[in-house]
Structure 1
Amino acid sequence: MRLVFAGTPEFARIAYSALRDAGHDIPLVLTQPDRPAGRGLKLTPSPVKVAALEAGATVLQPRSLRLDGRYPDEATAAREALLAAAPDAMVVAAYGLILPAWVLTLPRLGCLNIHASLLPRWRGAAPIQRAIEAGDARTGVTIMQMDEGLDTGDMLLEEAIDIRPDDTAGELHDALAVLGARLIGPALEGRANGSLAARPQPAEGVTYAAKLDKAEAALDLSQGAQALARRIHAFNPVPGATLRLPGIEGPVKVWRAQALPGGDGAEPGSVLDAGPAGIDLATGAGVLRVMELQKPGGKRQPAEVFARGWTRR
């Protein structure tokens, strides 16, 4: 098929590469503008842009696709490029821009979205992280026929996977990216030959996955250990959960943790133990065992290594 692809991060890059490997013609790719990254804040292209340029595709990076918006010239240029590409369908994965009606209706088969949740649960920007944070036992990928709503379109394909208790957002992201890349091909084929019917999303069970806010990264140890451990894993690798430890100036990032029983009567935040298994902290309910940490400006370390150079005063 002749496709246009719209996506930005590694999650989208994996799907883009799978479509190209399957033999689809993708002459045009849309992705977010280059962003500052790293300590030097050097302008860095998205993973999708890098892959598309290597493949010889035309890459556009409009800041908006609304013809009546803040960047009408960029939107107009994108419209002209899309018309010239004459795609059978547009595949969208973690693109980062809202698609106006003129985009949704331009391809012959419309726009198909690879969404990292079992819709209608976790519509929105951060479905992987919010599923872990909420303690969901399962998540998955939904291939959706896009409409003008926020992840409200009809469902084409859906497949679930389990969320393991120690899964981080990074690990779950990788598994869902591979799953999405596997599902998009059959979804396109089914739409093209008429064998795949679109199904409306259920009216019940709608939840929204709000964009991650750095202010959420600071852990409140008056909360329960289970909720804290889930947040730590949900915020790994970005933006990273933080807490304060005695004797260390600045917030310490926490990358892995485990919720344990105990700690009854101890002041939340107090250090109960620090040994090879981890650093045990009292919380509002239970014990939070921290197993991987990072001092400000330092490297990630297992708790055992971290504790050796830690003076708790």
Structure 2
Amino acid sequence: MTRWIAARLGRAGFTLLLLISFTFFALMISADPALQILGPDAGPEAIAAFREKWNLDKPLWYRYLTYLNGVLHLDLGLSYRTGEPAIHMVLDRLPATLALMIPTAIVSLLIGVPAGIYAAYMHRTTADRVTMLLSVVGLAIPNFLVGILLMYFFSVRLGWLTPSGIVGWSSFIMPILTMATAEAGIFARFTRSAMIELLQHPMVETGMASGFSRWKVLFVHVLPNAALPLLTVAGLFMGSLIGGAVITENVFSWPGTGRLLVESVGARDFTVVQTTVLLIGSTMILANLAVDLSYLWIDPRLRDARQVARR
């Protein structure tokens, strides 16, 4: 088991290194920050001074190793625009993003999982087909389109909600609904698939024969056994949630890390872009690592199998 955990940790570390390397080289090769920030009218002396100030006159391999050393010491560089530490700029925006993502995750689970259970219980009925149709529609419509439609109806037409920024609790309604639309559809579909397979298990007939109601069998016996495939979805859910946050924050002018990322890309502030991508990527890697490690806790068969293999 120790070797299995070490292998997962090593894979996560290697993935993080690939993320850091790809982001660094993709940004550095794509454009010259000095020309992009100073503009085409800047003189050679100004461009040379800018490059010297930010070590852009050094070889690419030297800058890469310097950046890796900074990452190890949590020194991710300074913003080209403001001169502030990039990590501080990202962390200042992080609470706004978390305030959006955490409620979205809760709403997605509260809608998606019960909808999937209901669809599985009503398998091959009109209710099942309607539930799955709604989940497919939620997945198919892009986040930005959902956000624009909500903004049009609730802000422009009805005037009930503020279209952008954070001015109170009501500002959270449309961004959360925008992101939860697709995420709830994902959970509904995967929950339904897992539950339908488990409903064919003999334990369901045994529970029913013992006098338990069908709903009690579903929630007490079937749903816990569906936790493993749902955990796999949870790892993917984190990635889609972060990607949706980037789009949603820009639609609703939400002052989070997603909007900061888009602003920094537009301003060619590569240091802030690298830091934001590193934070987002690290979150996704840690989420998938947590899912892998939780398998051992949820499914005893994995622990037993690895103990037998070790002997």
- Scaled by the length of structure 1, the TM-score of the pair is 0.27
- Scaled by the length of structure 2, the TM-score of the pair is 0.27
Higher relative contact order (CA 8 A, sep 6+): 2
| Higher helix proportion | 2
Bigger radius of gyration among the two: 2
